[in-house]
Amino acid sequence: PYPVLAAAREKHPVFWDPDLRAWVVLEHDLVAMAFKDARFSSDRVSKFRGKFANEKLVPLFNTLSHLMLQQDEPSHTRLRNLIHYAFKRTAVGTYESEIQRLAEKLLNPSLTSGRLEFVGEFAVPLPILVISEIVGIPAADRAQVKAWCDAFSVVALNFYANITDAQLNAGAEAVAAFTDYLRTKVTELRAHPKEDILSALVHAEEDGDTLSLDELAANTLLLLNAGNETTTCLLTNGLLALIQNPEAMARLRRDPSLIPNAVEEMLRYDSPIQFMGRLAATDIELGGESIREGDTVLLALGAAGRDPKTFDAPDDLQIDRHPIQHVSFGSGHHICAGLQLARMEGRIAFQTLLETFKDISLATDTIEFGTNVNLRCPEAMPLNVKP
């Protein structure tokens, strides 16, 4: 998509897309500015919930409205602080060895077979296993919780565009079931706290504030979902970029201390999330265009990462590029709450891959990208690997 986005950006840094019925913002500096400007609202639930005049969907939309991702200041900051508190209390840094263990375990079968389907066998399961551990979903419950998360996620991502009644009903059932599940869990964790995010959130009241059960359900679903496909894209697109740039791969092998910077460059080079939505809370002038109150605005993170006004040779992967002020984690109040964890997973995944295999190559001539233009990622990436 990058040549198309570049051609569009050259003509208009901001333009109205009649098919998407939204403004698209393509320049890095304008995207960064919009992220920090309260006139670009994150709250889409208030505007769109009226479209769904069905009593049975009220609890579903209540849960959606409790997502920190859907809130503006000051209520957003209250939720965000509680999540920060939970991350601090569980000390993300201590998960290093657990991520390492999971990464090694996933790569183990390919050591003998010499083949690795990178997406299905590594890049999809790793973030799911990591976040389930950290949040505190026991292995026995994970398949069920994932099914609830998936049904909710379909609604959360589509309620303001196209959604079917069946998807809405499935989302409503999933939210009701997950809230019941959490009710029982909260009682257990009050009596026997553990070292995980859920326990920390349940016990947050000791330090002043607390989440209602509905707020806990919404934001636990968010934590369980937000980092999975995004991290899968980082790992897959990042490895693909290294395979296509063998001199960068060789340099990382010689100097693994460059890996954290390389991960940052991968995020800029191929942003896992291509578009982040906002609603204009008032009339706004941006990039010479007049955005009207209520219009949808899409901040094009992928295009921003390739903006030549901000980055020299933006279409080259330069693993020692410094500084890299990309917006692939967003910016401002809503900047990714899991970025520390995502960076850690990226670093450990690439360290482990390069240490485990002295040779990594594609086992196919064609890489098929999925149809989701927002989370752009190959659906499968078969590799030949040599220990």
Chain residues that interact with ligand HEM, rule: CB under 6 A: 42, 68-69, 80, 131, 222-223, 226-227, 230-231, 234, 272-273, 276, 328-330, 334, 336-338, 341-342
- Is the CB of 318 or the CB of 331 nearer to ligand HEM? 331
Which amino acid appears at position 316 of this protein? D
The Cα 104–Cα 164 span in angstroms is 41
- Is the CB of 131 or the CB of 182 nearer to ligand HEM? 131
Q: How far is the CB of 122 from ligand HEM (least distance, A)?
A: 15
- Is the CB of 88 or the CB of 190 nearer to ligand HEM? 88
Structure tokens given for 264 = 């940052």
Q: How far is the CB of 327 from ligand HEM (least distance, A)?
A: 7
DSSP H helices, the chain, are 2-11, 28-35, 45-48, 58-65, 75-90, 96-113, 118, 125-135, 142-158, 165-191, 197-202, 213-226, 228-244, 246-254, 259-269, 301-305, 339-356
Residue where the block lists tokens 């959130």: 201
Q: How far is the CB of 103 from ligand HEM (least distance, A)?
A: 15
Q: How far is the CB of 308 from ligand HEM (least distance, A)?
A: 22
Q: How far is the CB of 112 from ligand HEM (least distance, A)?
A: 30
- Is the CB of 136 or the CB of 330 nearer to ligand HEM? 330
- Give buried/exposed letters for 62-90 (b at 16+ CB in 10 A, else e): bbbbbbbbbbbeeebeebbebbebbbebb
Q: How far is the CB of 340 from ligand HEM (least distance, A)?
A: 9
Which amino acid appears at position 300 of this protein? A
Q: What is the SS3 assignment for 214?
A: helix
Q: How far is the CB of 328 from ligand HEM (least distance, A)?
A: 5
- Is the CB of 149 or the CB of 234 nearer to ligand HEM? 234
CA-based torsion, 14, 15, 20, 22: positive or negative: positive
Residues 346, 266 contacting (CB under 8 angstroms): yes
- Is the CB of 68 or the CB of 385 nearer to ligand HEM? 68
Q: How far is the CB of 63 from ligand HEM (least distance, A)?
A: 15
The Cα 98–Cα 57 span in angstroms is 39
Structure tokens given for 92 = 């993300």
Going by C-beta distance under 8 Å and a sequence separation of 6 or more, which residues neighbour residue 181? 141, 144, 145, 148
The Cα 5–Cα 10 span in angstroms is 9
Q: How far is the CB of 92 from ligand HEM (least distance, A)?
A: 9
- The residues pairing with 280 across neighbouring beta strands, listed in sequence order, are 40
- Is the CB of 233 or the CB of 360 nearer to ligand HEM? 233
- Is the CB of 26 or the CB of 234 nearer to ligand HEM? 234
Within 13 Å of residue 353, how many CA atoms lie on the same side as its CB?
A: 29
- Is the CB of 185 or the CB of 347 nearer to ligand HEM? 347
